[in-house]
Amino acid sequence: MTDGTVTVVRPRLEPFTHTAAPTRIVFGRGALARIGDEVERLGCRRALVLTTPQQREQGIELVAALGSLAAGAFDGATMHTPVAVTEEATVRLAELDADCVVAFGGGSTTGLGKAVASRTGVPQVVVPTTYAGSEVTPILGETEGGVKTTRSGPEILPDTVIYDPDLTDGLPVPLSVTSGLNAMAHALEGLYARDGSPVFSAFAEQGLRAFHDALPALLDHPGDQDARDLALYGAWMCGTVLGGVGMSIHHKICHTLGGSLDLPHAETHAVLLPHTIGYVAEAAADALIPAVDIFDDPLGAALFDFASSLRAPQRLRDLGVAESDLDTVTDLALAKPYWSPRPLEHQGIRSVLHDAWAGKRPS
């Protein structure tokens, strides 16, 4: 400036409320070695270790590492948290006289831990091995008789999360990519949430930046430990946003698709993300500025290019969706009204779905 003064433009702070979740976070390479201390810290002596069948061996190793603090293992965790599996695990908990659960794995195993803990009141420790983010949310989706019901409450929120990036070094690259894009969806929707706060927006921005930097590095070097650390940190950031604020159009469409057509969770998020965010990008332009700064403008196209560079799935048709399914999914997605920064109308949602089905780059 000619007179030597500098004008600083500060962002305007709107009034907000913010509630921080009480979950204890233990983060770092080798953190799993602290599992025993963390179980004892919760006043527990007999942990039931939960895994999927695919991660059974790691569950057995964890039981050995816990030694006398382990009551046993249950390896029946599976997608969509079926109530029948939860009941089986709950019976196992009682038979073994276990006093807490340790969920080791991705969002499916975390879901089982939440379901058991919320029914029995036992404390829960989660050891995440993907980037889904469920471990820091008070949300649980369960299925029974083909119907998925989602509920939320403080009894569902895990007590302690141990983030140990060592456990993600072997996460296959395609799963790392789709899981990372799933996490990014929480952050992007968190930026324009009606009940957001500057704190959650800061978490969202950090989470997005972490995945922006980490995922391309992992594509070339899946064992890049710095990138793995960053991605898991991003998962915590993005998951915290999901746990703290309301989601909108993107999560609604993904849940509708996933629930009605039984689609894979992370892949569905990965395919839809550029299209749903593209749909609201103009309407939520101010809130999405941090994301545009990271990914570029227009945001929908930039996210499409980012996903494409990561070789993520980009077409719903490749996930087994038929073009004839799109009308039904549109009707289902619009059946219950919900808030969106851009009003939802049939033609717009149908074209979001069609573009995602065909893999068309958002304009």
| CB distance 136 to 158 below 8 Å | yes
Q: Which one of 23-31, 171-179, 223-231, 306-314 is the stretch in contact with ligand NAD (CB under 6 A)?
A: 171-179
Alpha helices in the chain (DSSP H): 35-41, 56-66, 83-95, 107-120, 173-191, 198-220, 225-244, 249-261, 265-280, 289-295, 299-309, 326-335, 346-358
- The H or E element that residue 161 is part of is strand 160-163
Q: Any contact of residue 143 with ligand NAD (CB under 6 A)?
A: no
Q: Any contact of residue 160 with ligand NAD (CB under 6 A)?
A: no
Q: In this structure, what token pair is assigned to residue 164?
A: 């140990």
Q: Please, what is the minimum distance in Å from the beta carbon of residue 293 to ligand NAD?
A: 26
Q: What type of residue sits at position 167? A: L
Q: In this structure, what token pair is assigned to residue 311?
A: 């070789």
Q: Please, what is the minimum distance in Å from the beta carbon of residue 171 to ligand NAD?
A: 4
- Measured CA to CA, the distance from residue 92 to residue 85 in angstroms comes to 11
Q: Any contact of residue 201 with ligand NAD (CB under 6 A)?
A: no
For the segment 265-294, give every residue that binds ligand NAD (CB under 6 A): 265-266
Q: Any contact of residue 173 with ligand NAD (CB under 6 A)?
A: no
Residue of 133, 234, 278, 290 that binds ligand NAD (CB under 6 A): 133
Q: Please, what is the minimum distance in Å from the beta carbon of residue 141 to ligand NAD?
A: 5
Nearest to ligand NAD of 157, 281 (CB atom): 157
Q: Any contact of residue 118 with ligand NAD (CB under 6 A)?
A: no
Q: How many residues sit in the footprint of ligand NAD (CB under 6 A)?
A: 29
Q: What type of residue sits at position 276? A: T
Q: Any contact of residue 259 with ligand NAD (CB under 6 A)?
A: no
54: left (phi over 0), alpha (psi -120 to 50) or beta: alpha
Residues forming the site for ligand NAD (CB under 6 A): 52, 54-55, 79-80, 105-109, 111, 129-130, 132-134, 137, 139-141, 167-168, 170-171, 175, 179, 242, 265-266
